[in-house]
Amino acid sequence: MHGRRRLIKEDAETNPFFGKAPSKRSIEELLENGIVIVDKPSGPTSHQVTAWVKEILHIDKAGHGGTLDPNVTGVLPVALQNATKVIGLMHGAMKEYICVMRLHGEVSKKKLKETMKSFIGKIWQMPPKEAAVKRQLRQRHIYYLNIIEVDGKDVLFKVGCEGGTYIRVLCKDIGKKLGVGAHMEELRRTKSGMFDENEAVILQDLLDAYIFWKEDGYEKELRKYLRPMEDLLSHLPAIVIKDSAVDAICHGADLALPGVAQVDTGIKEGDIVVIKTLKGEAVAIAKALMTTRDIMEKDKGIAADIKRVLMKKGTYPPMWKKPR
């Protein structure tokens, strides 16, 4: 998806007795370190939907990525328990929407096509009054904008954009440029990062799957909806570390080069990266202090500055020397 390759800096093996591949986690472990991709219904706030997920799964903590307005439906990733530490990284992930825009006047199809095409690329937006962010011009990227159907004054289109793009504002701005005015009539989010609507679950199905598991020990359905936290981080480049470095990082140490086993291509200094074990478990979120090339070529130095530890201490045994 991102055209990254993984390079091997040093051959390293992982001890099968510690940690486990995300795909092998139990339901209990997924409830602690997982996410659910909810198909948000029209009506409730994103916050309310998240509260229902918490009730359904009997957990204490949940958080959603990328708020949808009450009347908007579609893909809403909800992080459970420990995974709430990384949900903020979803805000910047690419989003896709299907929208019905209502024009306030007649416009030729040719003019409509040309005008909408002019919004592809970098655009400036002023967040709407009701937005929870500071009202100042922000630049956002529109990756594609395709008209699906035009029915009178209603225009059905699909848009792929950077996180934090306001589609309501986009419709208004298109209407302004057309000279007739327009507003957003209906909106559905079809993708958020790597998640799309085919993977999203409606709350009723989530509840049924939970009851099946709780009462009958049948976990196949629930397992389909609970995904490992690592799926949330798949858009980030990774640095894979040796078992011997894991516990030190869980205790807050920065990542020194001798601990690195593998690294993704394309990492630039200052990039946000995910630190993973050889089994694919997320250990921490970090800021790269070196490029991929430096990490591969150098033997000494700090490769990444740890920003947030995700793994519980003691998951892997300590193999580092504690200062005396």
- 227-279 residue pLDDT tens: 999 999 988 999 999 999 999 999 999 999 999 999 999 999 999 999 999 99
Which uninterrupted H or E stretch holds 175? helix 167-178
Instruction: Let me know whether 106 and 178 are in one domain.
Output: yes
Nearest in space to 228 (alpha carbons), one of 54, 86, 65: 86
pLDDT at 2: 62
Question: Looking at the structure, do residues 218 and 74 belong to the same domain, yes or no?
Answer: yes
Same domain (yes/no): 52, 126: no
- Residue-level pLDDT at 320: 62
Q: Name the region of 81 (left: φ>0; alpha: ψ -120 to 50; beta: rest).
A: left
Domain presence at residue 11:
yes
Q: Which residues contact 294 (CB under 8 A, 6 or more apart)?
A: 301, 303
Please give the pLDDT value at position 90. 83
Q: For this structure, is 243 an active site residue?
A: no
- What is the pLDDT, as a whole number, of residue 322? 55
CB of 63 within 8 A of CB of 76? no
Q: What is the pLDDT of residue 293?
A: 97
Residue 315 is assigned to a structural domain of this protein: no
- Domains in the chain, number: 3
What pLDDT does residue 246 have? 97
Q: What is the CATH number of the domain that holds 226?
A: 3.30.2350.10
318 domain residue, yes or no = no
In the three-class reduction of DSSP (H, G, I as helix; E, B as strand; rest coil), residue 13 is classed as: coil
Q: Which residues of the chain have pLDDT under 50?
A: 1, 324
Q: Judge if 186 and 199 occupy the same domain.
A: no
Domain boundary among 137, 167, 192: 192
Which residue in 69, 231, 247, 264 is the catalytic one? 69
147 occurs within a structural domain = yes
pTM across the whole model: 0.89
- Domain CATH for 127: 3.30.70.3190
